[in-house]
Amino acid sequence: MGTFDEVYERSLADPEGFWADAAAAIHWDAPPTEVLDDSNPPFYRWYRGGRLNTCFNALDRWVDGGDGVDELRGDQLAIVHDSPVTGSVTTYTYAELRDQVARFAGVLAGLGVEQGDRVVIYMPMVPEAAVAMLACARLGAVHSVVFGGFAPHELAIRIDDARPKVVVSASCGIEGARVIEYKPLLDRALDLAGSSGPQRCVILQRPQAEASLVEGRDLSWSDAMAAAESHPCVSVEATDPLYVLYTSGTTGKPKGVVRDNGGHAVALRWSMANVYGVRPGEVFWAASDVGWVVGHSYIVYGPLLAGCTTVMYEGKPVGTPDPGAFWRVAAQHGVSVLFTAPTALRAIKKEDAAGSFLDGHDLSRLRALFLAGERTDPDTYEWACALLGIPVIDHWWQTETGWAVAANCLGIEQLPVKPGSPTKPVPGYRVEILDELGAEVPAGHDGAIAVKLPLPPGSLPTLWNDDARFVSSYLSTYEGYYLTGDGGRIDDDGYLFVMGRIDDVINVAGHRLSTGAMEEIIATHPAVAECAVIGVADELKGQMPLGLVVVKDGVDADPAELERELVALVRGEIGAVASFKRAIVVPRLPKTRSGKVLRATMRAIADGREYAVPSTIDDPAVLDEIGGALGRS
Ligand code: COA
Ligand code: AMP
């Protein structure tokens, strides 16, 4: 195959040849007529003219045979669902999973879902969530999974935008020791969504809290499955959408990232072998949630497209029941590659710094630990290396790209690690660091991280129903480049260092959240004149949101009571996952003379970092007031 540098160079010098070769690992009903359609920049499409079915590639192909299949895997485990919160382990072979998925595709078809229709999936970490996703893929329908930690308002926004025919949900999720009833949240969201809501809902009843069903609208999963017939795979265009996944932008309106079928299947299959170095038949575990892109790519699609066994874990790194949970699961199921977020390791380290909960767990099959979701801080990196004695690989990507932009590609060549760096750009991605005017900055200097177009297969072709926002959000700052929203640098050896977001997105426990969305909610409180939410450094979660609130003139609000109300408001509207726990009253917000709130400066004050007073500031005295309010003066 060649060295990493050789593979990388080829991917940029001959992208069409490179991605045509990668496409051979996928079963096509009709091969693409054009590998890269670049006739309409900045919109690029991969595998134009090709036809395939993603579910066929993920399941049927391994049961019945097809292109790219080394051996049949019908009896191999496809999914292992390990749920310490319910005390159960449930497994599905490829044949069993295919049958379940075909039957649920029959359920959806029976409810009128056809190719191109949307289905919203609002479910906890249960195998049925994966079944529902794959059933949509089977029909050529477009799924949109909404993370279970989001509140009704956020679910309603997504329903409004996606306009699903059907919503698939569950009666409850289990968060540590707490049972969270989903159905009341769903009912409230459907009220809020009004006429854009679905005609039908399918509800998985879980024994921990059964939900009451609305006559004529709601259907129980098990009743529907019992009555359904299996549905075959529907062949779709490579460029047809497979899913929409909403992600936080800088405003309260999330962005509907579109994933197509062809590019996605090729890129994920390629990444399993080349980025993660896993082979068909091995066990892969991404300890994330199906509501996030990591769950889409590496709990569901990637491992199944590669003929691996995927572990779905319904639990936490700590508390279910102890900080040895990850090691128990990895040992019990023979995991070869584990993927999690650094925050999960920090949580384990906090409770078991010595690693004594590792004792007694045979991790001899665990070859590598991959980390993403936020930067891997060198302390966490060193701790994990010393504890596990295997390669610990930081890799950087986003919902938009769908797979790694920078990584140490274990399947090609393991490069030396530089702690704090996700190593080098992955084949297919030409990453550059640009200054404000769009010029490339010299090695070692900070700037905006941008990727030269076209993006490789698998990354977003556009935003759902909004080409204009796709261009204005990502492509208009630097012509010919995709703006990642992250800042960082590339050193003399070509290693990338990602230093954090340069926009109003924050990262809380590996969860991507919009400060703008929180500000919009806080601003609805009658006592609030204006506010800013910033992400402040947090030892465990990386960042935590902090609200700085200016109270309306003449309003006599008790700061502690106001904080309680704002915390409840954000929790109720966005969800517990926002982890919004602190709101501080300040006399004024620091602004530029043109009225822009100086969030980066407030962040530096809150973190106790050195900062330069911006030359554009309207009144520097405000910074002292903020420092005082934050106890930093
Ligand atoms: N449904 C309902 N509520 C949820 C939820 C879900 N699916 N997921 C999280 N929440 C709730 C939590 O219960 C918590 O509620 P609380 O404020 O009442 O305690 C809140 O949202 C914040 O959750 P989280 O940030 O996850 O904090 P935590 O204290 O429960 O756990 C960690 C901390 C570090 C253990 C946990 O965040 C973790 O495992 N992170 C890994 C992140 C990850 O996998 N990210 C995906 C990218 S790879
Ligand atoms: P999401 O779209 O939820 O996957 O979040 C993507 C964002 O998380 C990126 O834009 C980064 O800000 C951050 N991120 C993810 N992985 C890393 C990483 N390995 N290093 C630094 N930041 C990361």
Question: Over the stretch 447-500, which tens digit does the pLDDT of each residue have?
Answer: 999 999 999 999 999 999 999 999 999 999 999 999 999 999 999 999 999 999
Q: Whose CA is nearest to atom 6 of ligand 1?
A: 149
Expressed in angstroms and rounded, the spacing between residue 499 Cα and the centre of ligand 2 is 10
The beta strand positions in 127-207, using DSSP E, are 142-145, 166-170, 172-175, 178-181, 200-204
pLDDT band with cut points at 50, 70 and 90 for residue 196: confident
Q: Whose CA is nearest to atom 4 of ligand 2?
A: 398
Q: Is the distance from the beta carbon of residue 68 to the nearest atom of ligand 1 less than 6 Å?
A: no
Mutate which of 294, 318, 343 for ligand 1? The one with the most ligand atoms within 8 Å of its CB, which is 343
Please give the pLDDT value at position 633.
65
Atom of ligand 2 nearest to the CA of 498: 21
Rounded mean pLDDT of the chain?
96
% pLDDT > 70, the chain: 100
Over residues 277-306, mean pLDDT: 98
Task: Give me ligand 1 centre to Cα 574, in Å.
Answer: 14
User: Whose CA is closest to atom 5 on ligand 2?
Assistant: 398
**Residue 513 Cα to ligand 2 middle (Å):** 11
- Is the separation of the CB atoms in 324 and 357 below 8 Å? yes
The response to whether residue 375 sits with its C-beta less than 6 Å from ligand 2 reads yes
Q: How far is the CA of 577 from the centre of ligand 1 (A)?
A: 6
Ligand 1 pocket, residue 317 CB under 6 Å: yes
Instruction: Look at the alpha carbons of 68, 69, 70, 76 in this order and tell me if their dihedral is positive or negative.
Output: positive
Nearest atom within ligand 2 for CA of residue 484: 10
Q: Which residues pair with 204 in a beta bridge?
A: 170
pLDDT in tens, 494-524: 999 999 999 889 999 999 999 999 999 999 9
The three-point CA angle 606-630-502 to 5° equals: 25
CA of residue 398 to ligand 2 center, whole Å = 5
Check residue 287 and report its DSSP letter: -
Vertex 558, ends 552 and 564: CA angle to 5°?
A: 100
Predicted local distance difference test score (pLDDT) of residue 313: 98
Give 416-450 pLDDT, tens digit per residue.
999 999 999 999 999 999 999 999 999 999 999 99
Q: How far, in Å, is the centroid of ligand 1 from the Cα of 334?
A: 26
CA of 340 to the centre of ligand 2 (A): 12
Q: In this structure, are residues 193 and 162 in contact, taking their beta carbons and an 8 Å threshold?
A: no
CA distance 283 to 265: 19
Instruction: For residue 508, give the ligand 1 atom closest to its CA.
Output: 25
Instruction: Please give the angle made by the CA atoms of 72, 74 and 76, to the nearest 5 degrees.
Output: 95
Q: On the CB side of 263, how many CA atoms lie within 13 Å of its CA?
A: 30
Q: Whose CA is nearest to atom 19 of ligand 2?
A: 396
- Kindly identify the ligand whose nearest atom is closest to the C-alpha of 514: 2
For residue 1, what pLDDT is reported?
Answer: 78
Q: Which of 255, 343, 498, 505 to mutate to test the pocket of ligand 2 (most atoms within 8 A of CB)?
A: 498
- Cα angle, residue 469 at apex, residues 464 and 475 outer, rounded to 5°: 115
DSSP string, 433-475: EE-TTSPBPPTT--EEEEEESSPPTTS-S-BTT-HHHHIIIII
Q: What's the rounded mean pLDDT across residues 220-237?
A: 98
How crowded is the C-beta side of 575, counted as CA atoms within 13 Å?
Answer: 22
Q: Which band of pLDDT confidence, cut at 50, 70 and 90, is reported for residue 252? A: confident
pLDDT reported for residue 373? 95
Q: pLDDT tens digit string along 202-216?
A: 999 999 999 999 999
Q: 392 has which bridge partners? A: 369
Domains of the chain in start order, with CATH, are 4-199+211-315+395-426 (3.40.50.12780), 509-629 (3.30.300.30)
pLDDT at 541: 96
Q: Ligand 2, residue 422: give the atom nearest the CA.
A: 19
pLDDT at residue number 249: 83
Residue nearest atom 5 of ligand 1, based on CA coordinates: 149
Give residue-wise pLDDT tens across range 95-118: 999 999 999 999 999 999 999 999
Tokens matching residue 430: 């030409």
The residue whose C-alpha atom lies closest to atom 14 belonging to ligand 2 is 374
DSSP structure string for 337-376:
EEEE-HHHHHHHHHH-TT-GGGTT---TT--EEEE-SS--
Segment 309-351, tens digit of pLDDT: 999 999 999 999 999 999 999 999 999 999 999 999 999 999 9
How far apart are the C-alpha atoms of 385 and 408, rounded to whole Å? Answer: 15
| Residues contacting 556, CB < 8 A, separation 6+ | none
User: Distance from the CA of 608 to the center of ligand 1, in angstroms?
Assistant: 26
Please identify, by atom number, the ligand 1 atom nearest to the C-alpha of residue 511: 45
Do 482 and 474 form a contact (C-beta atoms < 8 A)? yes
Output DSSP code: residue 98.
H
| pLDDT of 410 higher than 90 | yes
DSSP state, residue 214: P
**Distance between CA atoms of 288 and 123, rounded to whole angstroms?**
14
Q: How far is the CA of 27 from the centre of ligand 2 (A)?
A: 31
- For 174-189, give the DSSP string: EETTEEEE-HHHHHHH
Count the neighbouring beta carbons within 10 Å of the beta carbon of residue 586: 22
Q: How confident is the model at residue 85 (pLDDT cuts 50, 70, 90)?
A: very high
